[in-house]
Chains A and B, each alone.
Chain A
Amino acid sequence: MSVSRTASVLAWLPLVSRILAALFGGYALAALCSIAALALPIDGRQAVFTGMLAGFLLHAGAVVWVFAVRSAWRAWLGLVIAALPLCLIAQTVGDGGGA
């Protein structure tokens, strides 16, 4: 691969990284949110609905964030920072009935 081609592929990497962050990072964040919702001090069934309802909005918000910030690194960093507390809360939620 010539130097210029490598360079042009490299130039696309941040964009590819952002697209992956938006699609999969955003979804992972929404999924974490839907689990963390079970920690809310409300009935479990209501919490499931709350998590579903909020999850899609969070995913949309995450995508906007990923493309709004200055670099792909910041995009991922933001997702990780948002995911950390959700992850901690999700840990406290008990295991399901295996459905």
Chain B
Amino acid sequence: MSQVDRSPKPRGIRQTMSDLHIWVGLLAGWILYAMFLTGTASYFRDELSRYTRPEIATPSTLPDAAAVAQRTVTAIMADTPAASQINLSLPSQRMPWVSAMWASPGGRGRHGFDSGLFDASTGAPLQARDTGGGDFFYAFHFNLHYMPAMWGRWIVGLCAMFMLVAIVSGVITHKKIFADFFTFRWGKGQRSWLDGHAAVSVLGLPFHFMITWSGLVMLAVLYMPWGLAKLPDKRQQAEVISEMRLFLPPQKAAGHPAPLTHVGALVQQAEQRWGTGAAGSVQVQNPGDENARVAVVRAQSSRVSTTPNYLLFDGSDGQLLQIKEHSGVAADTQGVLYGLHLGRFADAALRWLYFIVSLAGTAMVGTGLVLWTVKRRAQLPDPQRPYFGFRLVERLNIATVAGLSVAMAAYLWANRLLPVTMDSRAAWEVHLFFLAWAAMFVHATLRTPKRAWIEQFLLAALLLALLPVLTAMTTSHPLWHALAMGDWAFAGTDLTLLALAALHSLLAWRTWRHAPKAKRARPSAASRNAVPEAGA
């Protein structure tokens, strides 16, 4: 890129776009890789949240949503009579318990909110180890960690913008995009890497574009608030926000007590309208007050668009006050993009497709990063002593690509091994994730690159493969039992971890077997410590 303006002859568009692609890809690549991989894992966020709470038995059947809502609201109101707000996520096949939040003057959390999990059948509070579960990968994916969430979101947004530019410039660079998709030159060093990079990129191109654009759109109120601020009145501004986040009109308490209407009947009414299982959550404002409001919100799993749909009821007489089901074309476009990104509407088969294409996206970023070093290695003046920038990129690649797998596995190890009674246990699971990752950065600087790749891939394979063993030893959900019971949150996670362990072993083996091709012109250019050129 530095030559863009200095070269005597203007360079072709393909060349300048290639430079642009390479540099935006490299600069944002490491964070993008982490965003892609943790985001990929988040397609199984609910399953991971169950896998990390092995104390909670998987129920054989799901009770009626209306009865569950009524039972849980009653239980919370009995326990916290001063509650001013109660939010419930109703159980689903993927998440068979009630997850609740309630605000009261004595609440311990933010804005006076307490939270808890409740048994769907009995309404009793569920006891489980303190864990971030699948929510950690999900939140890290767009908030990062150890910094205010807003900083994380701006960094992530900048990287997503780089990604969008990398996609557009990559397509322009790659002129024979579909012909090349069917071309794969095995064992040809740099060409194989390029073909592999192109294959995983083109394979999921519509997905990669959608996921990047929609990711930006999801946080557009933060990144691009200028149009919103120009809307003439505040109410309209609130209405825009309410198409992106569930945001009920605020309701003041009257101060006169009145019994809360039968919430179950309202959930039933919603299910009659949208179908069984389509009532996703319930929000109660001012329960036990004359001005109580109950909203039954449609489940995100029941439709693609995430623009909130809900029925709003008067909480004292149960009268239907408002039906929110329509959003307008542009708001729906946004809602569909948002929904496509989250994939919450996906059934099991589509969820697996999401997972696989998203892994291809991760591989796209990973192969792109490695390609940067493969391409430059051939031009090194002295392959034994590469310049600082080359070594930096090489080490960062190792610790990001192979090291993140180790860190993610370490997180699950921490979930299994940290004492259940430990203080701030959930926070320590996350600390151990970052400690393991930091150790991989140190390791990558201490070993020769080839050894660092192999050792980290092997370590990841080992940690992943032993997780099902650890689960069998420390929980009542050993793989054979979970398989026999058809308990897929446990069996599926264990099997996926084993498959990922196999993938990492394969990567380690290919790296170990790899001997860099000696160049015919300069045989001495081959390096003993070359980066793996396998496993694209």
Query: A and B: partners?
Result: yes
| Cross-interface CB contact of B164 among A15, A31, A46, A56, cutoff 8 Å | A56
Q: Is the CB of B328 within 8 A of A15?
A: no
* Contact residues in B for A31 (Cβ distance below 8 Å): 224, 226
Least CB separation from B215: chain A residue: A56
Chain B contacts with A in 153-173, Cβ cutoff 8 A: 161, 164-165, 168-169, 172
Bin chain B's interface residue count: 35 or more
Chain B contacts with A in 225-245, Cβ cutoff 8 A: 226-234, 236-237, 239-240, 243
Q: Which of A60, A72, A93 gathers most chain B CB within 10 Å?
A: A60
Question: With contacts A46-B330, A53-B217, A53-B334 known, is A64 near B227, CB below 8 A?
Answer: no
Q: Is the CB of B224 within 8 A of A45?
A: no
Question: With contacts A49-B334, A97-B234 known, is A34 near B224, CB below 8 A?
Answer: yes
Q: Is B10 an interface residue (CB 8 A)?
A: yes
Question: With contacts A45-B328, A46-B330, A56-B164 known, is A51 near B227, CB below 8 A?
Answer: yes
* Contact residues in B for A44 (Cβ distance below 8 Å): 231-232, 236
Least CB separation from A18: chain B residue: B4
Instruction: Report B11 CB to chain A, min CB distance, Å.
Output: 9
Q: Is A21 an interface residue (CB 8 A)?
A: no
Q: Is the CB of B233 within 8 A of A37?
A: no
Give Cα A55–Cα B55 distance, bound, in whole angstroms: 47
Question: With contacts A56-B216, A64-B20, A72-B5 known, is A49 near B229, CB below 8 A?
Answer: no
Interface class of chain B by DSSP: helix
Q: Is the CB of A45 within 8 A of B227?
A: no
* Contact residues in A for B232 (Cβ distance below 8 Å): 44, 94-97
**For chains A and B in complex, what number of residue pairs have CB atoms within 8 angstroms?**
134
Give Cα A67–Cα B169 distance, bound, in whole angstroms: 10
* Contact residues in B for A70 (Cβ distance below 8 Å): 10
Chain A contacts with B in 20-66, Cβ cutoff 8 A: 22, 30-31, 34-35, 37-38, 42-53, 55-57, 59-61, 63-64
Q: Is the CB of B329 within 8 A of A67?
A: no
Q: Is B424 an interface residue (CB 8 A)?
A: no
| Cross-interface CB contact of A67 among B6, B19, B216, cutoff 8 Å | B19
Instruction: Report B98 CB to chain A, min CB distance, Å.
Output: 33
Q: Is the CB of A99 within 8 A of B228?
A: yes
Instruction: Report B233 CB to chain A, min CB distance, Å.
Output: 5
* Contact residues in B for A11 (Cβ distance below 8 Å): 2, 5-6
Question: With contacts A45-B243, A56-B217 known, is A94 near B230, CB below 8 A?
Answer: yes
Question: With contacts A49-B331, A63-B165, A70-B10 known, is A56 near B236, CB below 8 A?
Answer: no
| Cross-interface CB contact of B161 among A35, A60, A64, cutoff 8 Å | A60
Q: Is the CB of A14 within 8 A of B4?
A: yes
Q: Is the CB of B5 within 8 A of A14?
A: yes
Number of interface residues of A (CB under 8 A): 44
Q: Is the CB of B161 within 8 A of A67?
A: no
* Contact residues in A for B16 (Cβ distance below 8 Å): 67-68
Instruction: Report A49 CB to chain B, min CB distance, Å.
Output: 4
Q: Is B57 an interface residue (CB 8 A)?
A: no
Least CB separation from A22: chain B residue: B165
The contact string, 1 if C-beta is below 8 Å from chain A, for chain B 1-31, is 1101110001001001101100010000000
Give Cα A37–Cα B240 distance, bound, in whole angstroms: 14
Give Cα A69–Cα B24 distance, bound, in whole angstroms: 17
Question: With contacts A55-B224, A56-B213, A59-B161 known, is A93 near B328, CB below 8 A?
Answer: no
Give Cα A68–Cα B228 distance, bound, in whole angstroms: 32
* Contact residues in A for B216 (Cβ distance below 8 Å): 56
Chain B contacts with A in 323-359, Cβ cutoff 8 A: 328-331, 333-334, 337
Question: With contacts A14-B5, A46-B331, A56-B161 known, is A38 near B169, CB below 8 A?
Answer: no
Instruction: Report A5 CB to chain B, min CB distance, Å.
Output: 16
Q: Is B265 an interface residue (CB 8 A)?
A: no
Give Cα A47–Cα B169 distance, bound, in whole angstroms: 28
* Contact residues in A for B229 (Cβ distance below 8 Å): 96, 98-99
Q: Is the CB of A15 within 8 A of B2?
A: yes
Q: Is the CB of B236 within 8 A of A45?
A: yes
Least CB separation from B235: chain A residue: A97
Least CB separation from B24: chain A residue: A63
26 contacts between A and B (CB under 8 A): A14-B5, A15-B5, A18-B4, A38-B231, A45-B231, A46-B329, A46-B330, A51-B226, A52-B220, A52-B334, A55-B227, A56-B217, A56-B223, A63-B165, A64-B172, A67-B4, A67-B19, A70-B10, A72-B5, A95-B230, A95-B232, A96-B230, A97-B237, A98-B229, A99-B229, A99-B231
10 other A-B residue contacts (CB within 8 Å) besides A11-B2, A11-B5, A11-B6: A15-B2, A38-B230, A48-B227, A49-B328, A49-B331, A55-B224, A68-B13, A97-B232, A99-B231, A99-B237
Which residues of A come within 8 Å of B, CB atoms? 11-12, 14-15, 18, 22, 30-31, 34-35, 37-38, 42-53, 55-57, 59-61, 63-64, 67-68, 70-72, 93-99
Which residues of B come within 8 Å of A, CB atoms? 1-2, 4-6, 10, 13, 16-17, 19-20, 24, 161, 164-165, 168-169, 172, 213, 216-217, 220, 223-224, 226-234, 236-237, 239-240, 243, 328-331, 333-334, 337
